[in-house]
Amino acid sequence: MKYLKLALLALVAVFATTSCMDDDWKDPNSETSPYGNNSIQEDKALLKTIAELKEIYGKKQKDAINDTVRIADGTQIKGIVTGNDIEGNIYSQISIQDESDKPGIIISVAQGGLSGQLQIGQEVLINVGGLYYGTYRSQPQLGVAYHDSSKDQNYPSRISRADWQNRFKVIGKPDASKIKVKVFSTNPDTSKGELNVADLLDADVAYKYAGCLVTLKGVEFAMGDGKTTLAPEDEGKTLGYGVTRYFKGYDKTNKQIGIRTSCYAEFAANLVPQGVVDVTGVLSCYKSSAKYNHTVQLALRRFSDIKASESK
């Protein structure tokens, strides 16, 4: 009887353990993400498209160099992740955009490893209520309010990790085919809706696509000499540890278009590519003062975003 009781107790323990483990293993086999806040529910009365958010809060974005405005409580946005820190270049930020080729927005988050939680093509629902829409050196982005007392300037800064994890909900599985990339070409095919690279020198066009994933087709780097690297630390230490490499024809004052690379990106030491290339990246526009023209910069997600050109 003693041994029978022990055997029965062992069986009960096994079944109990199995039951508990089954409960613990349910999430990975379902649509429930281990990241973010799965309790967020989409509310159509509070949901805004990114286009609507930019229209409501960003009417002065071209004119405001550093500015912030608080977003109404409860406001939600939904979009597809187009940029993350997969190779360390887009640091403490993600970019999302509507399924169409416009618009997009950059979100500033004080957290590394975002690519492990929000892959390219991942749809996400975000509670942005109480955050701030604003501009940093004229580039629109979302974050928390920050006041630089030394310059008496306000701009959106990084959302804390804890706050961010409570604000987003992952929807379904990543699907990069949902991303519609806007194409600018040196020889645009207007039948496909392509624009000219030179159109980005127009502030209205540039800021319209700021925060979007774009491709520049048929461009060539001005410093593609087989010797120069993308972002050497010695060069970047006086430039915020980021280096811009401009394209031929767009490397002069008041006429600047290029890519900006972090000195800490995995590909920072790679040589500047030679020849005619197609470059894909998250578009941003910067200027330090209203009296200057904007500078157009693309942030690569990975080095493979630069390809030999398919342009004829």
- pLDDT of the residue at 293: 87
| Band of pLDDT at residue 215, cut at 50, 70 and 90 | very high
Taking only the tens place, the pLDDT of each residue in 20-34 is: 333 333 444 456 789
Going by C-beta distance under 8 Å and a sequence separation of 6 or more, which residues neighbour residue 25?
A: none
d(CA 181, CA 307): 15
Lowest-confidence segment of 17-21, 72-76, 87-91, 125-129 by average pLDDT: 17-21
DSSP sequence for 133-155? EEEETTEEEEEEEEEETTTTEEE
Question: Which residue did the predictor score with more confidence, 287 or 246?
Answer: 246
Q: By the 8 A CB rule, do 154 and 67 touch?
A: yes
Question: Which residue did the predictor score with more confidence, 118 or 11?
Answer: 118
Instruction: Read off the tokens for 13.
Output: 């323990």
pLDDT above 60 (res 14)? no
Taking only the tens place, the pLDDT of each residue in 38-59 is: 999 999 999 999 999 999 998 7
Q: Is 69 helix (H, G, I), strand (E, B) or coil?
A: strand
What mean pLDDT is predicted for residues 64-79?
A: 91
Residue 82: exposed, middle, or buried by beta-carbon count in 10 A (0-12, 13-18, 19+)?
Answer: buried
Q: By the 8 A CB rule, do 286 and 155 touch?
A: no
d(CA 115, CA 94): 9
